[in-house]
Amino acid sequence: MVMRERIAILLVLNFILVVMPFNVQGVDDAPAWRSNGLDPNLWTDGPVPEDTPMNTSYQGNAVLVINVTYHTGLLSDEVTGNITIELFEQWAPITTSNIIQHIESGLYDGVFFHRVVNDFVIQSGDPECKVIGTYPLTSPQCGGGGTGETIPLEHDTNLSHVDGAMGMARGAEEDSADSQWYITDTQQHGLDPENRDDGGYAVFGIVRNGMTHVRDIASTPTVTNPGSDQGIQNPGPDLLGRPIQEVRIDSVRMLGVADPDGTVRFGVMIDAGDDFPTGKVLSATILVMLIFTVLLITRIDPPTMLDEDTLVTFDAMLVDEEKPPE
């Protein structure tokens, strides 16, 4: 066995023993937004903090942004802005996966907030709530619609209805959440499961920036004020809390991931397991380096030791191929 073959085998064994535990996968497994690290220190317009785990931003959590357009009053100018929300994927994996899927399909683009209650919640996420012609003309099913695919009610003790919490609206049945969601305007712990006899509502995220827009939307004039004693059940096709002027969601998109450690922004590659792409990127990088190394070694042939017979034959061939002297 020549030296280059021994080196190649050693490299392959090194790859199996060292790199494989990193769970090598292609970089394409993760969407592009997972590679966009966001600095939580730049989020300055958040909700009133409470001493709960939700007050901390966690490395790698998905972050979405809601682009909104609205009027703060009947005679006010139009306002546009962004509401940035961190999703707690580690505590609400089913619910956050459902929301991300709807966002990436564009389900929420162009819908409006069909229910707002000052000092309680702002509610949206119904694909039936789109303007037909001129607002407030819309589908008669606005407020009671969805995709038709429900998810189970998901709770975690780390999640509660703090100020700025994002949760899932649902029907009378516990496992009836679909696409509608809400954001709390002030803390609403009366919606937490331990404070209700109907299972409560699932929290899965929190506003990190743009809480001013949540407050303004919650206080916009409405057709009627339903109060806060009705819970967050999908109210059906009625006008309870319907804004007099449209509060439109221009788009909802995945913005990136929370990056308090800077590992995504500054390219510090660590193995974070299956939940984060950094380990996969590291593994893919090592694999590429390994392949290039093997190719380089196999392309460089070591000097061949020529014995005496080979030298004689080689010289004879040269003599035979020489042209006769003129």
Instruction: Say if CB 188 and CB 120 are below 8 A apart.
Output: yes
How many angstroms separate the CA atoms of 301 and 315, rounded? 22
Nearest Cα to 279, choosing from 26, 11, 14, 40? Answer: 26
Phi, psi of 4 (to 5 degrees): -65, -35
Q: Is 86 exposed, middle or buried (0-12, 13-18, 19+ CB in 10 A)?
A: buried
Alpha-carbon span 155 to 46, nearest angstrom: 23
Residue-wise DSSP of 255-311: EEEE-TT-TTTTT-----GGGSSHHHHHHHHHHHHHHHHHHHHHHSPPPP---HHHH
Determine the pLDDT at residue 239.
Answer: 65
Mean pLDDT by 10 residues, the chain (326 residues): 61 52 50 97 98 98 98 92 98 98 98 96 97 95 95 98 98 96 97 96 98 97 64 52 96 98 79 44 56 59 50 42 46
Q: Which pLDDT does position 9 carry in this prediction? A: 63
Question: Cis ω on the peptide bond leading into residue 136 (within 30° of 0)?
Answer: yes
pLDDT of amino acid 272: 42
24 backbone dihedrals φ, ψ, rounded to 5°: -60, 125
Q: ∠ CA(107), CA(112), CA(118), 5° rounding?
A: 130
Give the pLDDT of residue 267.
Answer: 79
